[in-house]
A and B are shown apart, each in its own frame.
Chain A
């Protein structure tokens, strides 16, 4: 009996995986009325099936297919809806991460076809739930743009880990509104084409895409073209002996503390990229540095996009100084550990992908994002000191957990709320205490820059003494700051302290701009909130909650 052909085996594998997905669809149809992210279960199963197919093709056995019945176990057995959504995401993330790690470990790179299927599956899972026919064309542009970006980053041997996670980040973060913003992946692809070697076609692509995309894209195009020109002019003038120093100095914008949280958060996604800067060829290095510098100055949504673009250049192996095929002599490109870890965490949030997009890389306060990066960065000394690296990561983990789990004080809520127009005030009596925690947000305030005064908070004791605290954008933000369609144009910054939880699900998920402000006064008995007279006509200041802090 002749053994089955390769084509026959692949067809059998595909048919088997389709059967598994069909089972998931059958279960979903039987539970049709239950809605939410559960409606996307067949899509998640299809994404996993696609990844399992890639694994079967490459390694001969599709063991990742077992993630499909695991989805069913979550669907049947987990009552808590939010936990269920979370488990769907973890299942998808671990599946994708396992395949990537295994493939990169096997050959150093993913084949182009594998990368395209992987990216399409993951980005589709993140973007297409809940399904909206109106948004379908925009979603298709984003997905197609991401795939074109992957094509532009792929070399002859395939696509490396750094480039892969950069493409994933672009696919997840690209906004749908305004419609022109969906051209971000194409714009980045054309920028990379210019960096590979300027040609009339690539220059025209950058210019044309930037014109179509709108004003937000013009600085990116301009910086790219100017960097290429500058590199050509400066190269002959720089002393060869001083090049390493110049290269190291280029890391300054990446290491400096950016003023905008959007850019800083994006940088926390791949902090080890600063180590790769000196290895880059000059044009790529100048472009990356200038884009990072621009990210600092732009509004948060754009800052994140520009920083991601800068990091995409840094993470792609093809822009390293010696040749385009890979590493410099004796230098092995570092696998972007933090970026991979955070990317897997991002994929875990497939049920809240919209919230990830506006709070890239993770919808956490920046301190916690940095904590995750620190634990992952503990792997950096592993090359020479693996025991120290292992110990350091454990210590960092325990310290981080201890600090977070140390928790906060007990809060005694006060029943009050208010919506204030410009100049209006609201007073409320509070139980006796020494410290108050106030939850605030804004309405129709997205156009206000960080630091703009929005109101005043006053704590008053029984003898009439007053402690006053000015409120600015940064203490709070517009409530709908993170809502898809609002975030891109918003000028607010995320509040420095917030207890906001996610609303909606899928690509429509978002975090509100509520912030928490604490005001201390021994013996406080009354709280007064006054909205600034300078608030816009339609602007509002929302008092969401007041709690007495009991330590």
Chain B
């Protein structure tokens, strides 16, 4: 029934809302296109059972949703010059908002996760108790709209002097959810976030217009911005990221227009929304003063006036200042910076290259500082300190959340840069590849909402998918800086080379721009070559990876271990458990840990493993020099095996 309701609401939203953007002959053509897409989708769905193709209803619905959004996007972009296209940013936001609201029941098939339920618990406490003390909320979870009866206080939640239990999350978002919660419980709260996301889309589209971006480019960016990652994931989840993007965009717009009060409000609210955004707020003020010198003194006055109530709020609710201190290992080292920066760019699970490729293309524009508009420059200045603090942290990738969590706030900046890149730098083929990939990401996110939450093992969804399908270790070919591999280094080098080549071009002329056919052919060759390489036995096998066929045993540490990425992962074997995998063979090193003596068999060799306590130690194994499938079997004990490396 939920699927059917979601289908009905979504179909209505995507069929009717766009009519506000078109008129005359375009309206007729849109209606025909819409009917054609619906009919085609129905025909294909009806055919599946006859062909013995089993497709889950929610997957089928996700594909239908994306098909309609793609058709709408192509229709708008293809008619950008038409006089019958009554485009306006608020109309685009109307369409986006209608889609987000339509998605609410669909997304809520999966339980709220990560930080989401805790924001809602605070909302419930505000509504029912008039306070933010969560003690009685935790003891009556069966009454909570979160539908989560397994919630316990999060690590770092402050405790009051009288035993009060507070959430470590700032209460502003929870306050904002009150009206929606009162109107519709969990659905109402999520719909509130959807509303903020739609407003963010409106604000960003206005920002693009005010920066002089052409309508054609805006219509190319709009669907990828509104319906692609990462905004779509956060538009229907209770996180502060979508409201933060709205505030950041409004701050940029207000600064550009010289509207100090409005800018000040946006900046202060941003800091109150989430304390980690405070540094963005400060940087916005600093950047504003640098770029708009004539308003420096007045800006300082306004900022001081607005800071007073903000300070008052902080004084009244000191628990929001329960900052988690940096762990000793999160230090500002070159290695950490390289790992975090490279990861944010190319990591298969958490990087822009795989999770939001269009924004990565836009970053090329950031290197052409002089060509950027004032808003883009201000955005870059505002983002820089935040990113400098983010990259060396061990959870730069966002932790237990949909991808790119910590940079969603900078979507307005990404939109500006991407628009600039599309107009002046990037080839059409690259944009098309990014768009197709984004469509795939959207299908995946809608069809498998829990799949957006991944344990940071170093594998990626793509690597696991191909590995499971083919039995080959495809994950090693997907760049990872969470578990650094050669593919990441290669990706960084290639990216740097492409950026250098892009900067070296004087202008984007037909002679320089690679054709779509060329990009497609190169992509086909890369895929074929990569798949061939992946099918060859590798010289390193991580025992927890998807291509390893396990028979018994379990993941180590457990999947739901808090901050699991801080631990060295592996596979815990019990007596009789085994795992088989493709491996190069020859002289090898096995990394393991064991509390007690253990014995394993691999490749016809029996190996005795000495106790190592909690740490991992290597043991040399002389395997046959025959690449192929090897089986590791535990004969005695309970060792945890991390990986095996061929020399």
- Chain A CB within 8 A of B73 CB: no
- Chain A CB within 8 A of B16 CB: yes
- Chain A CB within 8 A of B388 CB: no
Q: Which residue of B lies closest to A78 (CB)?
A: B469
B385-397 vs A, CB cutoff 8 Å, 1 = contact: the mask equals 0000000000000
**Which residues of chain A from 45 to 71 have a CB within 8 Å of any chain B CB?**
52, 56, 61-63, 65-66, 68-70
**Which residues of chain A from 22 to 60 have a CB within 8 Å of any chain B CB?**
23-24, 26-27, 30, 52, 56
Question: B44 — which chain A residues lie within 8 A by C-beta?
Answer: 90, 345, 348
Q: A72-B524, A405-B57 are in contact. Are A364 and B34 (CB under 8 A)?
A: no
Q: Which residue of B lies closest to A97 (CB)?
A: B40
- Name the one of A19, A345, A391 contacting B521, with C-beta atoms under 8 angstroms: A19
- Chain A CB within 8 A of B465 CB: yes
Q: Which residue of A lies closest to B431 (CB)?
A: A63
- Chain B CB within 8 A of A372 CB: yes
Question: A3 — which chain B residues lie within 8 A by C-beta?
Answer: 510-511
Question: B38 — which chain A residues lie within 8 A by C-beta?
Answer: 375-376, 378, 393-394, 396-397
- Chain B CB within 8 A of A551 CB: no
Roughly how many angstroms separate A69 CA and B524 CA in the complex, as a whole number? 5
- Name the one of B42, B521, B527 contacting A375, with C-beta atoms under 8 angstroms: B42
Roughly how many angstroms separate A376 CA and B470 CA in the complex, as a whole number? 39
Roughly how many angstroms separate A3 CA and B510 CA in the complex, as a whole number? 10
**Contact indicator B47/A364 (Cβ below 8 Å):** yes
- Name the one of B34, B47, B432, B436 contacting A349, with C-beta atoms under 8 angstroms: B47
Question: A511 — which chain B residues lie within 8 A by C-beta?
Answer: 50
- Name the one of A80, A349, A390, A393 contacting B54, with C-beta atoms under 8 angstroms: A80
Question: A348 — which chain B residues lie within 8 A by C-beta?
Answer: 44, 47
Q: Which residue of A lies closest to B8 (CB)?
A: A398
**Contact indicator B35/A379 (Cβ below 8 Å):** yes
**Contact indicator B521/A23 (Cβ below 8 Å):** yes
- Name the one of A61, A82, A379 contacting B516, with C-beta atoms under 8 angstroms: A61
**Contact indicator B469/A386 (Cβ below 8 Å):** no
Number of interface residues of B (CB under 8 A): 64
**Contact indicator B524/A387 (Cβ below 8 Å):** no
Roughly how many angstroms separate A1 CA and B511 CA in the complex, as a whole number? 10
**Contact indicator B28/A383 (Cβ below 8 Å):** yes
**Which residues of chain A from 322 to 360 have a CB within 8 Å of any chain B CB?**
335, 337-338, 340-342, 344-345, 348-349, 352
- Chain B CB within 8 A of A382 CB: yes
**Contact indicator A66/B11 (Cβ below 8 Å):** no
Roughly how many angstroms separate A73 CA and B44 CA in the complex, as a whole number? 20
- Name the one of B36, B432, B433, B469 contacting A376, with C-beta atoms under 8 angstroms: B36
Instruction: Give min CB distance, A165 to chain B, whole Å.
Output: 13
**Contact indicator A405/B428 (Cβ below 8 Å):** no
B4-18 vs A, CB cutoff 8 Å, 1 = contact: the mask equals 100110011001100
Question: A307 — which chain B residues lie within 8 A by C-beta?
Answer: none
Roughly how many angstroms separate A378 CA and B31 CA in the complex, as a whole number? 9
B27-58 vs A, CB cutoff 8 Å, 1 = contact: the mask equals 11011101110111111111111111111010
- Chain A CB within 8 A of B175 CB: no
Roughly how many angstroms separate A51 CA and B429 CA in the complex, as a whole number? 17
- Chain A CB within 8 A of B19 CB: yes
- Chain B CB within 8 A of A501 CB: yes
- Chain B CB within 8 A of A79 CB: yes
A514-531 vs B, CB cutoff 8 Å, 1 = contact: the mask equals 000000000000000000
- Chain B CB within 8 A of A76 CB: yes
Question: A83 — which chain B residues lie within 8 A by C-beta?
Answer: 53-55
Instruction: Give min CB distance, B303 to chain A, whole Å.
Output: 48
**Contact indicator B32/A397 (Cβ below 8 Å):** no
- Chain A CB within 8 A of B494 CB: no
**Contact indicator B46/A368 (Cβ below 8 Å):** yes
**Contact indicator B469/A79 (Cβ below 8 Å):** yes
- Chain B CB within 8 A of A513 CB: no
- Chain A CB within 8 A of B626 CB: no
Q: Which of B7, B38, B520, B521 has the most CB of A within 10 A?
A: B520
**Contact indicator B31/A379 (Cβ below 8 Å):** yes
- Chain A CB within 8 A of B517 CB: yes
Roughly how many angstroms separate A59 CA and B490 CA in the complex, as a whole number? 35
Roughly how many angstroms separate A337 CA and B34 CA in the complex, as a whole number? 11
Count how many pairs of residues, one from A and one from B, have CB atoms less than 8 Å apart in the complex.
233
- Chain A CB within 8 A of B615 CB: no
**Which residues of chain A from 78 to 92 have a CB within 8 Å of any chain B CB?**
78-80, 82-83, 85-86, 90
**Contact indicator B531/A69 (Cβ below 8 Å):** no
A383-420 vs B, CB cutoff 8 Å, 1 = contact: the mask equals 10011011111101110111011000000000000000
Roughly how many angstroms separate A543 CA and B4 CA in the complex, as a whole number? 37
Q: Which residue of A lies closest to B465 (CB)?
A: A77
**Contact indicator A386/B27 (Cβ below 8 Å):** yes
**Contact indicator B518/A16 (Cβ below 8 Å):** yes
Question: A338 — which chain B residues lie within 8 A by C-beta?
Answer: 39
- Chain A CB within 8 A of B314 CB: no
B424-445 vs A, CB cutoff 8 Å, 1 = contact: the mask equals 0000110011001000000000
- Chain A CB within 8 A of B468 CB: yes
Q: A16-B515, A341-B40, A397-B11 are in contact. Are A372 and B46 (CB under 8 A)?
A: yes
- Chain A CB within 8 A of B528 CB: yes
Q: Which residue of B lies closest to A75 (CB)?
A: B531
Roughly how many angstroms separate A86 CA and B50 CA in the complex, as a whole number? 11
Q: Which residue of B lies closest to A373 (CB)?
A: B39
Instruction: Give min CB distance, B140 to chain A, whole Å.
Output: 37
- Chain B CB within 8 A of A300 CB: no
Roughly how many angstroms separate A404 CA and B51 CA in the complex, as a whole number? 16
Q: A24-B528, A73-B527, A79-B469 are in contact. Are A398 and B7 (CB under 8 A)?
A: yes
**Contact indicator A30/B517 (Cβ below 8 Å):** no
**Contact indicator A363/B521 (Cβ below 8 Å):** no
- Chain A CB within 8 A of B523 CB: yes
Instruction: Give min CB distance, A20 to chain B, whole Å.
Output: 4
B542-564 vs A, CB cutoff 8 Å, 1 = contact: the mask equals 00000000000000000000000
**Contact indicator B31/A82 (Cβ below 8 Å):** no
Instruction: Give min CB distance, B488 to chain A, whole Å.
Output: 21
Instruction: Give min CB distance, B94 to chain A, whole Å.
Output: 15
Instruction: Give min CB distance, A209 to chain B, whole Å.
Output: 34
Question: B590 — which chain A residues lie within 8 A by C-beta?
Answer: none
- Name the one of A27, A85, A379, A397 contacting B531, with C-beta atoms under 8 angstroms: A27
- Chain B CB within 8 A of A144 CB: no
**Contact indicator B35/A390 (Cβ below 8 Å):** yes
- Chain B CB within 8 A of A535 CB: no
**Contact indicator B47/A68 (Cβ below 8 Å):** no
Q: Which of A375, A392, A397 has the most CB of B within 10 A?
A: A397
Q: A19-B521, A77-B466, A364-B47 are in contact. Are A345 and B40 (CB under 8 A)?
A: yes
**Contact indicator B42/A391 (Cβ below 8 Å):** no
**Contact indicator B521/A20 (Cβ below 8 Å):** yes
Question: A344 — which chain B residues lie within 8 A by C-beta?
Answer: 40
**Contact indicator B30/A386 (Cβ below 8 Å):** yes
**Contact indicator A389/B8 (Cβ below 8 Å):** no
- Name the one of B4, B32, B524 contacting A68, with C-beta atoms under 8 angstroms: B524
Q: Which of B54, B432, B466, B528 has the most CB of A within 10 A?
A: B528
Q: Which of A17, A27, A66, A404 has the most CB of B within 10 A?
A: A66
A300-327 vs B, CB cutoff 8 Å, 1 = contact: the mask equals 0000000000000000000000000000
- Chain A CB within 8 A of B313 CB: no
- Name the one of A77, A345, A390 contacting B15, with C-beta atoms under 8 angstroms: A390
Q: What 7 pairs between A and B have smallest CB-CB spacing?
A: A379-B35, A376-B39, A382-B31, A393-B35, A65-B520, A23-B524, A386-B31
What would 4 more interface pairs be, CB under 8 Å, given A66-B520, A405-B57? Answer: A61-B515, A62-B517, A389-B31, A397-B39
Task: Show 11 residue pairs from A and B whose CB-CB distance is below 8 angstroms, ordered by the A residue.
Answer: A20-B521, A69-B523, A76-B527, A82-B51, A352-B51, A362-B46, A375-B42, A379-B34, A394-B15, A394-B38, A398-B4
Binding site for B on A (CB under 8 A): 1, 3, 12-13, 16-17, 19-20, 23-24, 26-27, 30, 52, 56, 61-63, 65-66, 68-70, 72-73, 76-80, 82-83, 85-86, 90, 102, 335, 337-338, 340-342, 344-345, 348-349, 352, 362-364, 368, 371-373, 375-379, 382-383, 386-387, 389-394, 396-398, 400-402, 404-405, 500-502, 511
